Amino acid sequence: MPRTVDIHRVRNIGIMAHIDAGKTTTTERILYYTGVLHRMGEVHEGTAFMDYMDQERERGITITSAATTCQWRDHVINIIDTPGHVDFTAEVQRSLRVLDGSIALFCAVAGVEPQSETVWHQANEYRVPRIAFVNKMDRIGANFPRVLDMMRSRLGARPVAVQLPIGAEDTFRGVIDLIDGKGIVYANDDGMTYDIVDIPEDMREQVAEYRTTMIEAIVEHDDELLERYLSGGDITSDEIRRGLRAAALGLHITPVLCGSSFRNKGVQQLLDAVIAYLPSPADVGVTHGHDVNDATITIDRKPVDDEPFAALAFKILSDPFVGRLTFLRIYSGTLKAGEQIWNVTNGKKERAGKLLRMHANKRDEIDEAYAGDIVAVPALRFTRTGDTLSDPKHPILLEAIHFAEPVINQSIEARTLADQDKLAESLHRLSEEDPTFRFHVDAESGQTIISGVGELHLDILVDRLKREFNVPVKVGKPQVAYRETVTSPARHEGRFVRSATGKNQFGQVTVEVRPNDSGKGSKFINELAPGVLPEPYATSVEQGAMEALKVGPVAGYPMIDVTVALVDAAYNEDDATEMAYAIASSIAVKDAVRLASPVILEPCFRVEVVTPEEYVGEVIADLSSRYGRIEGIQSRDILQVVTAVVPLSQLFGYVTQLRSLSQGRGSYTMVFDHYEPAVLKR
């Protein structure tokens, strides 16, 4: 069955911003004006259509990205409403990977906020064209020019206003369209009707100034328009729109609109701008992948329906009604319900039994999906986030999605023995949904450790375990995995002589323990001359020595980075046994390490903090107070990257402290680096 809407009339967009900038409210208005909703939901009332999780409605924040579809002026718009809290950045990241364009939302009062910076830089990384919408123009303190200035200074962006607000705060009543030179004034608060008026007399000079700035920004990227502009010729409204679109798609500028979603002002014009200035899948063009067996061979797929099928799985969701849902972005070809597809990433066959078009947590079943579509497929058994799905006869491997590593840990346990298996299964399902959530069982403490990107992140996941999966749990802090080592060489003799059941057992060895290089691990060296001790007994000595290193002399932690050398041995052919030599070796090693100046080691992590320049001093001072060793500072665009090595014991709660120091604008990653002597009595 052929598609009903041409691919040039499809828009795949996301709405991204800092928490509480109005993303979900804006989405609700879009769905209302496009006829999907007959009544607008409100975030503060817990009735927002796109915030369907209990945790979202209670807290008034978006936690998981929700997808929906609507139509506007003969175009199909697939929208993903993304979270604004920094703990759920992964939801934004995977959405940006598969979207063609984005609306960047800014609060007219707060301007560019910390999470706005994070998602803006992510959009830069994926080269996603954007338009900006300055929301909440009706709020006290709203300042449209200041938001434009903040976009330039904090984001390194080039914002170009295509609208100006008429009034601000309680006098905000509409916008000026700088392209057509007309005012749009809203008669009432439902936003459905508005009047087209002339530019107010007191704004004419301001409008002329901003219109000139807009045209100059456009003609910079169009030689024909530039020549006409410099020669004093007129540029029509249609030419301005075409120039804006070309410059926006080329990431040269960001068209900026304004309004108040809560007061229903400016949303229809925002929808017009989505169609006018954001790309269709056809505009994005060819998708690049590579051969399954040879990454050096590039394969291209055009966004057309008669190309071989290729799609990327970008989200896994556990739906209480249809089970495990996999969200796909189709880059080329078509997918029919019931068709067999190939998971190129893991080499498994899958069957797309049903195809669903999602409306938040509601769904419509469809028979066929086309290039450029975003759909959900239930019951894909082997597919994970970031996997490529393709036509079995024409495999292609698309670039996977890369997520930030978890930086905060907690221990977790089921409250009852009966729930232990259920807990493990539930954690596995959550880790499939959320690639920034990990869990493992610590081999030493026996604790189950869960890891996430922030305290709220783990708090929400624990809450979901209790509500969705009915697993009552207890959470706490994990123990730091300390180690021990020696700092000087020491030698000792071990002797084992025993008589049991008429059989004598004899073993006598002398060993020397020495410090090994950090990170090299423990090893055994046989320094005896050939023939002094037969090979089977030397092997037993090695086994005994390695066993003795499992428990250190200071606090009982495992020992690492120790070399054990067998330097002498006595051998009695009649009474020698392998067990006796293993025990003698163990005794010798335990006594030797006590004499070798043993110390406790603690794990140190390499920490990379990304922060605006004005907070670098506070960040360095705080890391130093945590016994961190600063190793370097580098520039990354308009941000600074501080690299340090910090003991793990000092990093618990650091994510909260960093946000406090940097007004929420800093972020960090950490990875294990090495063990070093612990600084006690901190």
CA distances (Å), origin 333, targets 368, 370, 378, 384, 391: 11, 6, 20, 21, 9
Q: Residue 403 burial by CB count (10 A; 0-12/13-18/19+): exposed, middle or buried?
A: middle
Amino acid 81: pLDDT: 67
- How much is the average pLDDT of 123-138? 91
Instruction: Name which of 150-154, 323-327, 396-400, 493-497 the model is least confident about.
Output: 323-327
pTM of structure: 0.70
Place of tokens 């007219």: 108
Amino acid 50: pLDDT: 43
Q: Residue 185 burial by CB count (10 A; 0-12/13-18/19+): exposed, middle or buried?
A: middle
Instruction: Name the band, by pLDDT with cuts 50, 70 and 90, for residue 59.
Output: very low
Instruction: Name which of 13-22, 313-322, 391-400, 600-609 the model is least confident about.
Output: 313-322
pLDDT surpassing 70 at residue 217: yes
Contact between 407 and 669 under an 8 Å Cβ cutoff? The reply is: yes
CA 363 vs. chain centroid, Å, equals: 26
- Rounded CA-CA distance 509/505 in Å is 14
CA 5 vs. chain centroid, Å, equals: 33
SS3 (DSSP) at 438: strand
Quote the Cα angle for 82-87-90, to 5°: 55
The 3-state secondary structure of 589-625 reads HHHHHHHCCEEEEEEEEEEEEEEEHHHHHHHHHHHHH
- How much is the average pLDDT of 204-222? 92
- How much is the average pLDDT of 238-259? 94
Which residues in 212-238 are b (16+ Cβ under 10 Å) and which e?
eebbebbbbbbeebeeebeeeeeeeee
pLDDT surpassing 60 at residue 87: no
- How much is the average pLDDT of 565-583? 90
pLDDT surpassing 70 at residue 441: yes
pLDDT surpassing 70 at residue 674: yes
Which neighbouring-strand residues pair with 111?
Answer: 107
- Rounded CA-CA distance 438/506 in Å is 50
pLDDT per position as a tens digit, 591-638: 999 999 999 998 888 888 888 889 999 999 999 999 999 999 988 667
- The percent of residues above 90 in pLDDT, for the chain, comes to 36
Amino acid 479: pLDDT: 61
pLDDT per position as a tens digit, 632-665: 998 866 778 899 999 888 887 788 888 889 888 8
Highest mean pLDDT among 439-448, 458-467, 547-556, 569-578: 547-556
pLDDT per position as a tens digit, 28-42: 888 888 887 665 555
- How much is the average pLDDT of 199-209? 92
- How much is the average pLDDT of 63-70? 67
pLDDT surpassing 60 at residue 223: yes
Backbone phi, psi, residue 109, to 5°: -90, -50
Relative to beta strand 310-319, strand 254-258 is unpaired
Instruction: Name the band, by pLDDT with cuts 50, 70 and 90, for residue 405.
Output: low
Mean pLDDT value across the chain: 84
Instruction: Name the band, by pLDDT with cuts 50, 70 and 90, for residue 60.
Output: very low
pLDDT surpassing 70 at residue 51: no
Which neighbouring-strand residues pair with 105?
Answer: 133
Instruction: Name the band, by pLDDT with cuts 50, 70 and 90, for residue 14.
Output: confident
Which neighbouring-strand residues pair with 671?
Answer: 606
Amino acid 540: pLDDT: 94
Greater model confidence, 347 or 459: 347
- E strand or H helix that includes residue 165: strand 163-166
Amino acid 88: pLDDT: 56
- How much is the average pLDDT of 492-512? 87
Instruction: Name which of 199-203, 550-554, 668-672 the model is least confident about.
Output: 668-672
Amino acid 38: pLDDT: 63
- E strand or H helix that includes residue 149: helix 144-155
SS3 (DSSP) at 151: helix
- How much is the average pLDDT of 240-266? 93
- How much is the average pLDDT of 523-550? 91
- E strand or H helix that includes residue 359: strand 355-359
- Rounded CA-CA distance 285/303 in Å is 6
- E strand or H helix that includes residue 103: strand 101-107
Rg over CA atoms, the chain:
32
Instruction: Name the band, by pLDDT with cuts 50, 70 and 90, for residue 161.
Output: very high
Place of tokens 């200074």: 153
Contact between 240 and 181 under an 8 Å Cβ cutoff? The reply is: no
Amino acid 295: pLDDT: 77
- How much is the average pLDDT of 45-52? 42
Closest CA relative to residue 157, chosen from 145, 166, 148:
148
Contact between 292 and 397 under an 8 Å Cβ cutoff? The reply is: yes
